[in-house]
Amino acid sequence: MNRSWKRLTSLSIGLLVLTSGLSACSTDNTNSSSTGNAAEAGNVTGESSSKEPITLRLTNWGSPKEIETYQKAIDRFEETHPGVTVKYESIPTDYDTKLTTMVAGNQEPDVAMLESATIAFPLAEQGKLVNLQTMLDEDSSFHADQLLPNTSYFTEPGNIIGLASNIETFSLYYNVDMFKELGIEPPPAKAEEAWTWDEFVETAKKLTIDQSGKNATEPGFDPSKIRQFGVSGANGWWGSWSNFIYSNGGDFVSADGKTFSLNQPEAVEALQKVADLINVHHVAPSPVQSKNVPGTNVALQTRKVAMVIDGQWANFDLSSTDVNYDVAPLPILKDPVTTVVNGMFSIFKSTKHPQESWELVKALLDPEGTLELHHKGLWMPALKNWYEDEALIAKWTADSKGRRSGYRDAVINMALNHGHQTPTGYVKNFNKIMDIVNPALDKVWLGQQSAEEAMNGIAAKAQAQVQGRRDIQ
């Protein structure tokens, strides 16, 4: 899994951003890949235009397995780019702080993994990062339309600061056996057949069981003594509630970027429906109860919860257990939606080797180089034809324990056809807005205020932090 979203504000959506250098330096862009897809750009074999050996510094974070996989991709890049060596620096803790120190000391790397809300956009605003559109315009082997939707990030239209190396989305995970034993029909895998919100709630009630064995639809059900919840939002709903705002036609700010919008009817209704799962229907654990509910893989394995709303990365841990699970699209309010979050890399303007850095970025975008973790369920490719070409789809899904029967429809097709960019990618000043929103939402989850009361109560303060949208001029 990419760096935990918990390192952002507790309810913000994590996102990583990639940018690229501009100075002139050329390489031979002869394509040597045999896969015949957009990822070929990462397999360019070319002599460096410089006669001297080149060393590129790359920084990122990740689990030991992620680091190992990235190193294999780097080795692959070095083999196809004679004379270029990559010095790989993994920074497992305090990444933003340490990278900021590097920048302050003029010691920034050539290529770096960045998160949008916490560091990428601030660096871009300081002029440290480059418009990747220029690289794309000058590269005949790689084009923006080869990327999956919602994987390019902008400071403004025409100024790309990010291209995703892999993506994650949100889905509904469920224990198949728990449904079978209660004779309940599992959720459909196709977006066009996805549960309505009411169908979702009714099913969650049947799957919520108290200590006496009664479910939440039966007289005498005791919500204070629940042994099995129908649903939970992973880690207290952080990140996942935005999916329902988008599904209901709402947003964080208005379309013109001028107005705080979480207090508007569409957003308020969606937030209230999530809160009602806890406080009205009693099918999801409260913030206090959530402390005793384990993570997705353990929750489903131990039957503490029948369904969990979580990120695509949950497949990685679930696939290492013996739990009989599957995956479905999120329940819909008005339209099917899944929020797309990304792992990305950036190139600093200060690099002395912009073209070689661009070639490294393309190599890191190539799913072939990191195929192991795509196949095991941790990541999804960021290139469109890996969702459309059957041979390429098979490379990262066939015979994988992390890709269940519903995965093709519920995850792959949802990402391709119903993805929505994470708000950290387009809402300016997102973290400052959420510093105001999050404490108010805590009161909603606890049942102390309605969503309307809470959002209206902080609307003026939040409005003062609204600075516009990056997806409009």
One-character DSSP codes across 358-422: HHHHHHHH-GGGGHHHHHTTS-B-SBGGGTT-HHHHHHHHTT-TTS-TTHIIIIIIHHHHHEEE-
For residue 163, being part of any structural domain is answered with yes
Q: How many domains does the chain have?
A: 2
Same domain, residue pair 162 and 188: no
Q: What residue numbers bound the domain in which 353 lies? A: 5-168+341-423
Q: What is the pTM of this model?
A: 0.87
Amino acid at 430: F
Instruction: Look up residue 413 and give its two tokens.
Output: 């097709």
Express each pLDDT in 4-20 by its tens digit: 333 333 333 333 332 33
Instruction: Look up residue 440 and give its two tokens.
Output: 């108010």
> How far, in Å, CA of 65 to CA of 46, rounded?
29
Instruction: Look up residue 276 and give its two tokens.
Output: 């009602």
For residue 151, being part of any structural domain is answered with yes
For residue 153, being part of any structural domain is answered with yes
Q: Are 119 and 7 in contact (CB under 8 A)?
A: no
Q: From the CB of residue 440, how many other CB atoms can be counted at a distance below 10 Å?
A: 22
For residue 472, being part of any structural domain is answered with no
Same domain, residue pair 393 and 301: no
Q: Select from 366, 372, 377 the least CA-distant residue to 311.
A: 377
Rg of the chain taking only CA atoms, in angstroms: 23
Amino acid at 147: L
Same domain, residue pair 305 and 362: no
For residue 77, being part of any structural domain is answered with yes
For residue 469, being part of any structural domain is answered with no
> How far, in Å, CA of 291 to CA of 275, rounded?
17
Instruction: Look up residue 155 and give its two tokens.
Output: 């400071």
Same domain, residue pair 208 and 330: yes
Cite the DSSP H helix spans in 208-306.
241-247, 265-279, 287-290, 296-301
Same domain, residue pair 220 and 307: yes
**Tens place of pLDDT for every residue, the chain, 473 residues?**
444 333 333 333 333 332 333 233 333 333 333 333 333 333 333 444 446 899 999 999 988 989 999 999 999 999 999 999 999 999 999 999 999 999 999 999 999 988 877 888 899 999 999 888 899 999 999 988 898 989 888 888 888 887 888 999 999 999 999 999 999 999 999 999 999 999 999 999 999 999 999 999 999 999 999 999 999 997 667 678 999 999 999 999 999 999 999 999 999 999 999 999 999 999 999 888 888 887 888 999 999 999 999 999 999 999 989 999 999 999 999 999 999 988 778 899 999 999 999 999 999 999 999 999 999 999 999 999 999 999 999 999 999 999 999 999 999 999 999 999 999 999 999 999 999 999 999 999 999 999 999 999 999 999 999 999 998 86
For residue 312, being part of any structural domain is answered with yes
Helix (H, G, I), strand (E, B) or coil at 209: strand
Give me the CATH number covering residue 444.
3.40.190.10
For residue 358, being part of any structural domain is answered with yes
> How far, in Å, CA of 160 to CA of 145, rounded?
13
Q: Are 15 and 422 in contact (CB under 8 A)?
A: yes
Same domain, residue pair 244 and 300: yes
Q: Are 331 and 200 in contact (CB under 8 A)?
A: yes
Same domain, residue pair 61 and 182: no
Amino acid at 440: A
Express each pLDDT in 174-233 by its tens digit: 999 999 999 999 999 999 999 999 999 999 999 999 999 999 999 999 999 999 999 999
Same domain, residue pair 456 and 358: no
Q: Are 438 and 10 in contact (CB under 8 A)?
A: yes
> How far, in Å, CA of 113 to CA of 365, rounded?
12
Q: Are 20 and 354 in contact (CB under 8 A)?
A: yes
Same domain, residue pair 201 and 288: yes
Q: Select from 174, 187, 287, 299 the least CA-distant residue to 237.
A: 287
Same domain, residue pair 160 and 120: yes
Same domain, residue pair 144 and 226: no
Express each pLDDT in 155-164 by its tens digit: 888 888 878 8
Instruction: Look up residue 85 and give its two tokens.
Output: 């060596």
Same domain, residue pair 196 and 84: no
> How far, in Å, CA of 144 to CA of 159, rounded?
12
